[in-house]
Amino acid sequence: MRLGFLLPLASALSAAAIGQSSCVSFDTSKTAFPVVSGGKASPILVGADDWAGVQRAANDFKTDISRVTGKTPQLQNVSTTLTDPFKGVTTPIIIGTLGKSSLIKKIVDQSKIDVSSLTGKWESYVAQQITQPINAYVIIGSDKRGTIYGLYELSEQFGVSPWYWWADVPVVTHNSLFLTGTCQHGPPTIKYRGIFLNDEQPGLQSWAQEKFTNGTGAPFNSKFYGNLFELLLRLKANYLWPGMWQSKIEVYKFAMDDPQNQPLADLYGIVMGTSHQEPMARSTPNEWNIVGHGDWNFTTNAANISNYWTDGVKRAKPYETMYTLGMRGSGDLPLEEETNIALLEKVVDAQRQIFSNVYNTSDVTQIPQLWCLCASKDGMRVPDDVVLLWADDNWGNIRRFPIQNERNRTGGAGVYYHFDYVGDPRNYKWITSTQVSKVYEQMSLAHERGADKVWIVNVGDLKPYELNTEFFISLGYNITRFAPNNLDQYVSKWATREFQLPAKSDEIAAIVANVTRWNARRKPEMLNTTIYSLTDYREADTVLAAWKNTFDRSKAIYDSLPSKTKAAYFELVHHAVSASYINQNTWISAGLNNLYASQARLSTNNLADQVQALFESDYDLEDQYHKLLSGKWNHILDQTHIGYYYWQQPMANTMPAVNRIQARKEALAGAMRISLEGSRGAWPGDNPYQCSLGYNCGPPSLPQLDPFVPKQTRYIDVAAGGPNSFTFTVSSNVPWTKLSLAKGSISPKAPEQRIEVGVDWSKVPSGTSTAAITITGTTTASAKTTVVVYLTVVKTAVPSTFKGFVEGDGGVAIEANHASRNKSANGIQWTLLPGYGKTDSAVTPLPGLGNTKFAVGAGPSLEYDFYTFNSKGGSVTLTSYLAPSLNANGNDRPLAFAVQIDQETPQSVAYVGAAPSGSLPAGWTGLEGPTAVNIIKATTTHKVAPGAHTLKIWMIEPAVVLQRLVIDTGNVRPSYLGPPESIRV
């Protein structure tokens, strides 16, 4: 039996709103408060002196009730100067902010409602029924956003998805609507939670240009931002870095493009910032290139740059702003290295003096400031009140967490994370490729280690990263509601909310998990024709079959949906499934085309046609998206993604190169072509893959079979070598082979047939045996061609008392979550991270507190029982597959674990290259580096004789994420994913 991993307990996720306690009902009761009942809507009251943003959100609340029930409440701005502000009002919903709304003050004073949980708190709210001074339901926030979040939380529970506009999720309608009990939320886990619109050309900008301008204005104007700010607040976000890159029309400048942008953000309640490379609330270099004077060089042009920054701070001062400090070179390049530390300190001192001057204060510590660091600078002075924002490696692996002596800084720390990226070795910004489980693992570590002041994530064009974006913000809003054992449940609840198919929600969650896991194996922009093995382990076939299965399941759901829900499902799920399947099919088909051409197979041409059709269908799918809902999302998927030549996006999608053979000319070796599993060769005749010299110098042989090979057959392909048809027969010289075909026919219209060769093990003698399988082809002219293919089999057996994994096909492959035993130490245990792996799930030690460390052989352990029949000279090679996490525990504590087989001395394995704290190891981001292949392989050698063994994995450091284990006993062949998991008895 598989081990049940210990999982931390977590609060159950509500069905009504993801992750929050429900206080909405659609059925009446004696204790329920009527929002809409008997065709009548309760009025909504908001204090006339409350925040304008609260009054605006109250109007959204009114509209949401109307969307759900068809009844529109009366919304009144109430002045408490009235003798009786509730005169003539029955069962109102009263909205307001503690300390701002005099209406709420009157309610608190007269009702004696307990607001101690709100006083002085950040972004908190309470919603409950009162009876004095009037029977009412009150929604009270500790501050502006607290009130707004309370409203939008209830709207979501009513049936209005945060994505009702941005992903066209239909509103769930009800005739009646009631509020029950108390809903409340204290201060969020992370103080500032936001997104960065980045790499936004050609998709988001071209779309916004068409939808929000007359074709000549700046695309991201206040019309655009009104929609975005509302979405952020509905998601419980509060922070935004606006986009910054050049559009087709002009460069993008948040404050200059539309004078309403800054005041609108403040009215809504969005804290504005600027990206890691844009200091002092200015869009640099875009604004600098228009209003700046001289070079962007603080060494030679400090006065002009300081004046430029001063103007930016003056412009932002009236509004809630988080200022980015520091300075980058033009184009996001580092400053000159020889003066880096001293110059940066000088820059920050100048910036702090600007704050003092503009805000007219000697104490600038209350002005929100951050400094985004890609790598640490030894000896650099950073003001204690400034948030240290640590970037990930651009691929979702956080570079650094606060060390122990940094956790008492008043400014705290944060994380800049990526779902989208432009840079070496390739961009990835077309489609979703980040796993929820990975985000949880990395950001949970950030929270545990004290990086809890600011979380911001690069979401590119925002679409199609909707689910990832919401998960990131939800995690920051209340991380205590999440644990490894409810991540899938979160996605299921999300699916139920968006598509109202509770019976299919788990299925949708599994589909989404497949899309992100398989795209994370290697970003779609980094695929080529030979990533997945075309010959070994049937890897390419298996990958493609899995994609097709997922596509078929998604299409079945899509086809079953009512018309009002189809657009949302297409945008949020089915497009990503379909586009990813087409993309992967294109590359694998092109790889097979190239291989078949070298084998002189007529089906080369069929594959060339297939690649062409797939390439065109990629555009057809994009066009389908753009034509949804009368073109609402036209241009949003303009991003090119096929045919990268270097790191930057191609200017046009380019079909992978394909080959064709002359279909009217027969191959030199004749009409029949024979190719085998495990070989790039083809018989009869020569090609470069049949032996070291490229000649027809060896008999064709299939990979060896034994009773414990997961796939219990090998295949032989019989193919046409030109225009001439032929028939063929298949026979074996031994009785124990099982052939799927005894005869067949090949023609230009049907140019391929596959023979599956199996074994009847009951008829095979012990030890090694060989079968000769003869394929004889006969053309219409009675010309015969014969090819003999050899299959060697080894009949092995394990003792009946053994339980565990058994060597097959030259090795033992084990998914890390399939341990035989899981032993804890000091309350820490290896814990399942569902779906976090290239092929299955992963495990990591939890709790992952940074101060926890074990001596080799003393920590929590995993044990895997396995049995071998062979070894390479008495030794085996163990390859541990690990997520490409960085040495975030500090230079003196690199990520490490220990491996041990049987009673040998455990071997410590530190698998991440050394680098200065916060920097990246050499080769980390190369085309075949850990980020590109999304794995690190750690190899150890062990003395192992044939027989039963136990492999132990010991925890040394936290934050190690183990995915797979492969023991090579002599015949593990190259492949991208590694051998399929071994048989377990």
Q: How is 825-886 classified by DSSP, letter by letter?
A: BTTBEEEEETT-SSSS-EEEEES--TT----TTTS-EEEEEEEES--BTTEEEEEEEE----
Backbone angles phi, psi at 739, to 5 degrees: -105, 130
Q: Do the Cβ atoms of 450 and 402 come closer than 8 Å?
A: yes
Q: What is the pLDDT of residue 322?
A: 98
Question: Which residue has tokens 């009157």?
Answer: 106
57-71, 251-265, 349-363, 584-598: range with lowest mean pLDDT: 251-265
Q: What is the mean pLDDT of residues 528-533?
A: 97
Q: Do the Cβ atoms of 7 and 483 come closer than 8 Å?
A: yes
- Distance (Å, whole) CA 99 – CA 141: 9
Domain extents for the chain?
Answer: 24-185, 195-465, 485-660, 672-795, 805-968
Q: Is the pLDDT of residue 331 over 80?
A: no
- We find that the CATH architecture of domain 805-968 is Sandwich (2.60)
Closest by CA to 869, choosing from 818, 789, 810, is 810
Band of pLDDT at residue 478, cut at 50, 70 and 90: very high
Q: What is the mean pLDDT of residues 774-780?
A: 94
Question: Which residue has tokens 């998914």?
Answer: 815
Backbone angles phi, psi at 949, to 5 degrees: -145, 165
Give pLDDT tens digits for 861-876: 999 999 999 987 889 9
Q: What is the pLDDT of residue 5?
A: 42
Question: Which residue has tokens 């015949």?
Answer: 971
CATH 1.20.58.2150 fits 485-660, yes or no: yes
Q: How far is CA 652 from its chain centroid? A: 25
63-67, 275-279, 819-823, 839-843: range with lowest mean pLDDT: 275-279
Look up residue 502 and give its two tokens: 């509770």
Sequence-distant (≥ 6) Cβ neighbours of residue 549 within 8 angstroms: none
Give 572's DSSP letter.
I
Q: Would you tell me the crossing angle of helices 575-598 and 603-626 to the nearest 10 degrees?
A: 160
Q: Do the Cβ atoms of 478 and 825 come closer than 8 Å?
A: no
Closest by CA to 753, choosing from 764, 763, 762, 743, is 743
Integer-rounded Cα radius of gyration of the chain: 32
Q: Do the Cβ atoms of 226 and 56 come closer than 8 Å?
A: no
Q: Is the peptide bond before 921 cis (omega within 30 degrees of 0)?
A: no
Q: What is the pLDDT of residue 3?
A: 39
Q: How far is CA 258 from its chain centroid? A: 33
Backbone angles phi, psi at 369, to 5 degrees: -140, 145
Q: Is the peptide bond before 703 cis (omega within 30 degrees of 0)?
A: no
Q: Do the Cβ atoms of 764 and 829 come closer than 8 Å?
A: no
Average pLDDT of the chain, as a whole number:
93
Q: Is the pLDDT of residue 792 over 50?
A: yes
Q: Would you tell me the crossing angle of helices 487-499 and 466-477 to the nearest 10 degrees?
A: 120
Sequence-distant (≥ 6) Cβ neighbours of residue 934 within 8 angstroms: 395, 520, 521, 522, 838, 883, 884
Band of pLDDT at residue 713, cut at 50, 70 and 90: very high
Residue type, 781: A
Give pLDDT tens digits for 125-153: 999 999 999 999 999 999 999 999 999 99
Q: What is the pLDDT of residue 652?
A: 97
Q: Please classify residue 357 by burial: count the beta carbons closer than 10 Å to its beta carbon, then call 0-12 exposed, 13-18 middle and 19+ buried.
A: middle
Give pLDDT tens digits for 168-187: 999 999 999 999 999 999 99
Residue type, 225: Y
Half-sphere exposure (CA, 13 Å, Cβ side) for 889? Answer: 19
Q: What is the pLDDT of residue 890?
A: 75
- Distance (Å, whole) CA 961 – CA 951: 17
C-alpha distance across the termini of the chain, in Å: 9
Q: What is the mean pLDDT of residues 494-520?
A: 97
CATH 2.60.40.10 fits 672-795, yes or no: yes
Indicate the CATH number for domain 24-185. 3.30.379.10
Q: What is the pLDDT of residue 337?
A: 42
Give pLDDT tens digits for 954-979: 999 999 999 999 999 999 999 999 99
Look up residue 202 and give its two tokens: 């050609």
Sequence-distant (≥ 6) Cβ neighbours of residue 768 within 8 angstroms: 792, 793, 794
Q: Do the Cβ atoms of 836 and 438 come closer than 8 Å?
A: yes
Backbone angles phi, psi at 932, to 5 degrees: -70, -45
Sequence-distant (≥ 6) Cβ neighbours of residue 292 within 8 angstroms: 304, 305, 308
Q: Which is the CATH superfamily of the domain at 195-465?
A: Glycosyl hydrolase family 115 (3.20.20.520)
Backbone angles phi, psi at 771, to 5 degrees: -110, 145
Helix (H, G, I), strand (E, B) or coil at 348: helix
* Three-state DSSP string of 312-326: HHHHHCCCCECEECC
Backbone angles phi, psi at 833, to 5 degrees: -110, 95
Q: What is the pLDDT of residue 4?
A: 38
